[in-house]
Amino acid sequence: MTQKPHTIEVGDGAAIPLKSDKGLFTAWRLAFVGALATLTWLAFTRPDPYMKIITFVPDGILVTFKVTVGAILLALIIGLITGLGRISSNRFINGLASLYVEVIRGIPLLVQIFYIYYALGRIIKVPDILSAIIAMAVCYGAYMGEVFRAGIQSIPKGQAEAALSLGMTRSQTMWHVILPQAFRVVLPPVGNEFIALLKDSSLVSILAVADLLRRGREFASESFTYFETYTVIALIYLILTLFFSKIIGIMEERINVDR
């Protein structure tokens, strides 16, 4: 009897610290506490320039969150539509969704940001931050589409067959039976994509969006403290990603307990 090969899933988000993985959980605590302690120690032992940098970048952190949250919400909508298209029996819709996934995933994110920004500029003038959100969402929508496709297909076919036998239409079955269960399945990978998007949001600084990285670059160019500035920026990004990876880990553990 042949066994199905195990699949290896490697994402570009953060490693999720689950209590079942003691090594990773310990590493998460060391990294999180170490980053916080290092940032605090630098701020109090060398307030010039470290404290100045820390007080200079908070508005950039807010912009980073705006871009990340806006892009992930739009990417979820695009991803859901793409995921449904990928499992559609209509050859045109399926082919269109598949083409979108292949094309977007084959172009670097930085190139997409530039292209969408200048393409939108030829059609309509939109704020830089909105261009950044759209560019990030278009890119991550392709990845979200595959997440939703896998989540929907993970639901046993018997669920749909039972709903159809009760007189529900296919659309009713999808919206009231399949998708509610699929959302529970895709929640952890969606959270992982959120963290990956948070890190990749640093790329929007090239569009003159005053995010965390751009604010750091502005401070460094004025003070010429490049090493110190990028040390602070790196520590802040690390703290943010570690914090959200822990939140996602808690959510994933609760979902697994409820099943």
Number of H helices, E strands in the chain: 11, 0
The number of beta carbons lying within 10 Å of the beta carbon of residue 258 is 7
What is the domain partition of the chain in residue ranges?
30-258
CA-nearest of 24, 21, 141 to 76 is: 141
CA distances from 128 to 67, 98, 119, 131, 206 (A): 10, 29, 13, 5, 10
Which whole number is the average pLDDT over 56-79?
93
Question: How far is residue 149's CA from residue 77's CA, in Å, rounded to a whole number?
Answer: 13
pLDDT digits (tens, 9 = 90+) for 178-188: 888 888 888 88
pLDDT recorded at residue 258 = 58
CA distances from 97 to 5, 71, 104 (A): 27, 19, 11
- Is there a contact between 81 and 142 (Cβ–Cβ < 8 Å)? no
Residue 215: pLDDT band (50, 70, 90) is very high
pLDDT recorded at residue 228 = 93
Residue 228 tokens, joined:
């110190």
Residue 167: pLDDT band (50, 70, 90) is confident
pTM score, whole prediction: 0.84
Residue 224 tokens, joined:
């010429």
- Is there a contact between 77 and 252 (Cβ–Cβ < 8 Å)? no
Least confident range of 29-33, 99-103, 161-165: 161-165
CA-nearest of 224, 194, 158, 210 to 68 is: 194
pLDDT digits (tens, 9 = 90+) for 219-230: 999 989 999 999
Which whole number is the average pLDDT over 133-152?
91
Please list, in sequence order, all residues whose beta carbon lies within 8 angstroms of the beta carbon of residue 96, skipping any fewer than 6 positions away: 85
Which is more confident, 40 or 254? Answer: 40
Please list, in sequence order, all residues whose beta carbon lies within 8 angstroms of the beta carbon of residue 200, skipping any fewer than 6 positions away: 109, 136
pLDDT digits (tens, 9 = 90+) for 70-114: 999 999 999 999 999 998 888 999 999 999 999 998 888 888 888
**Quick one: what percent of the chain has pLDDT higher than 90?**
41
Residue 189: pLDDT band (50, 70, 90) is confident
CA-nearest of 141, 255, 116, 127 to 197 is: 141
Which whole number is the average pLDDT over 132-139?
90
pLDDT recorded at residue 71 = 94
Please list, in sequence order, all residues whose beta carbon lies within 8 angstroms of the beta carbon of residue 41, skipping any fewer than 6 positions away: none
Fold of 30-258: MetI-like fold (1.10.3720)
Which is more confident, 76 or 8? Answer: 76
pLDDT recorded at residue 16 = 62
Residue 14 has pLDDT above 70, yes or no: no
Residue 22: pLDDT band (50, 70, 90) is low
